[in-house]
Structure 1
Amino acid sequence: MSRILITGATGLVGGHLIRMLNDDARVTQIVAPTRRPLPAMRKVVNPRDPQLTDVLTQLTEPVDIVFSCLGTTRREAGSKEAFILADYTLVVDTALAGLRLGAKHMLVVSALGASQRSLFFYNRVKGEMEASLIAQQWPRLTIARPSMLLGDREKHRFNESLFSPLFRLLPGKWRAIEARDVARALINEAFSPAHDAVTILDSGQLHEKAGHSALI
């Protein structure tokens, strides 16, 4: 039985993930700090904080597994600084809180193309976030790198609507993926036997992992 810490639970992947975790018999409690309130769920404790950082430092109960589904775009964030806060700083703070609380497995949603050496700001920040988590030397770290995420967002993203038909047809790691399938894949990976200390799953691998969830 596992206690879970999750950030990003109000987002596209995180929303699916927290509902699935709430229904999972292997989970006893879910601590989900958010900026805005979540719908009431039986297993979910939902401390709220406009900045998230303060509430993460105040958590004291032990957890077993940590998920971070935090993510935005520079346009939605409003500035480079706000984007870095959401996609780097708060993810790293989530991981540090999990380590302090005794977690052994961290799972994070990153992005296709994440690289510290990328010429693109978005991908470079994602790559720097991944590198920081790897440097924390987790007993087990899973990094999900989905391609274009599909699903119903509260805020419409024009580029995703424009290019999603194409990305649905692409093969392997380039193929678009439903947010709920990313959530299913993360849960499957979280409760699977450990293999490597660091596992990176692209969209093709996430599709495969999600496919197994029908058996759960």
Structure 2
Amino acid sequence: MELTKKTALVLGATGLIGKELVHILSENGHYQKVYLLVRRPIEVESKVCEVHIVDFDKLHQYNELFQVTDVYCCLGTTIKVAKSKEAFRKVDYEYPIEAAKIAKENGAEKYLIVSSMGADTKSIFFYSRVKGEVEETLTRLNLPSLHIFRPSLLLGKREEFRLGEKLAEKASGVLNKIMIGPLRPYRGIQARKVAAAMSVVAQSDIKGKHIYLSHEIDSMVGFSEWKKH
């Protein structure tokens, strides 16, 4: 059997979705090499993954790492963690945009990014507004293949404790059963489902810009990548 020659790069490999994505990409055999760009050392038991500690403020210095087939961006933080709107914007806007520019310059075929339900440049909420601005700027870059994933409340084990999300997650088990019809897009969704959907979409030959809403991502549950995990 001919081995794949595809390569990938993951930004945000230590986050909720990023960790699930790394696990999936390590085992699905789609890539011969997956570069993980992180701020601090992490342990990854995989012959496919290669960890690189980088300064995200100087991404252009790691140009050679962006010479890959697909780039996955799972970067994201909160105002509470970032401490300020400026710091939040740097992680959720500046880094993803800079990464996309470098990826395009190096001929990456696909750019897949986790956004958020409600992303809108005109939103009254700062978080949603920044997400909307990211999507808008990425669109203007005219990337060969841009895939934007907009999950609702993410379910899964986080490193940091978020009281609001923890309470919502506990309630989601009951709420998801009654949130049908027009309410379906607001159901909580497992982070690994989002990661699995990203992996599956990356194996397609779809060109142009595509947005996947939370309930559409959730409907991808039947894919083999999800069944394995």
TM-score grouping bracket, smaller chain normalisation: over 0.9
Distance 1:11 1:215, change over 3 A: closer
Per-residue CA shift, 1:141-187, capped at 9, x if unaligned? 10000000000001011111122244442342111100011000110
Q: Which has the larger radius of gyration?
A: 2
Q: What is the TM-score when the length of structure 1 is the normalising length?
A: 0.93
Which residue is equivalent to 1:180?
192
Answer yes or no: is the 8 Å Cα contact 2:38–2:53 preserved in 1: yes
Which residue is equivalent to 2:17?
13
Instruction: Confirm whether residue 191 of structure 1 aligns to residue 203 of structure 2.
Output: yes
Per-residue CA shift, 1:73-93, capped at 9, x if unaligned? 111111001100110011111
Answer yes or no: is the 8 Å Cα contact 1:109–1:145 preserved in 2: yes
Which residue is equivalent to 1:58?
62
Per-residue CA shift, 1:84-137, capped at 9, x if unaligned? 011001111111121122101110000000010101000000000111111110
Q: Which moved more, 1:113-122 or 1:56-65?
A: 56-65
Of 4, 10, 14, the residue aligned with 2:8 is 4
Q: Which moved more, 1:115-124 or 1:163-172?
A: 163-172
Per-residue CA shift, 1:42-94, capped at 9, x if unaligned? 11221112x32324532315211010000111111110011001100111111
Instruction: Confirm whether residue 86 of structure 1 aligns to residue 91 of structure 2.
Output: yes
Identity percentage of aligned residues:
34
Instruction: Give the length in aligned residue pairs.
Output: 214
Q: Which amino acid aligns with 1:173?
A: P
SS in 2 for 1:18: helix
Answer yes or no: is the 8 Å Cα contact 1:8–1:14 preserved in 2: yes
Answer yes or no: is the 8 Å Cα contact 2:111–2:145 preserved in 1: yes
Q: Aligned partners of 1:215 and 1:91: how far apart in 2?
A: 29
Q: Which moved more, 1:58-67 or 1:5-14?
A: 58-67
Distance 1:42 1:82, change over 3 A: same
User: Which runs of no fewer than 5 residues in structure 1 stay unpaired?
Assistant: none
Distance 1:175 1:156, change over 3 A: same
Q: What is the TM-score when the length of structure 2 is the normalising length?
A: 0.88
Answer yes or no: is the 8 Å Cα contact 2:59–2:99 preserved in 1: no
Two-structure CA RMSD over aligned residues (Å): 1.6
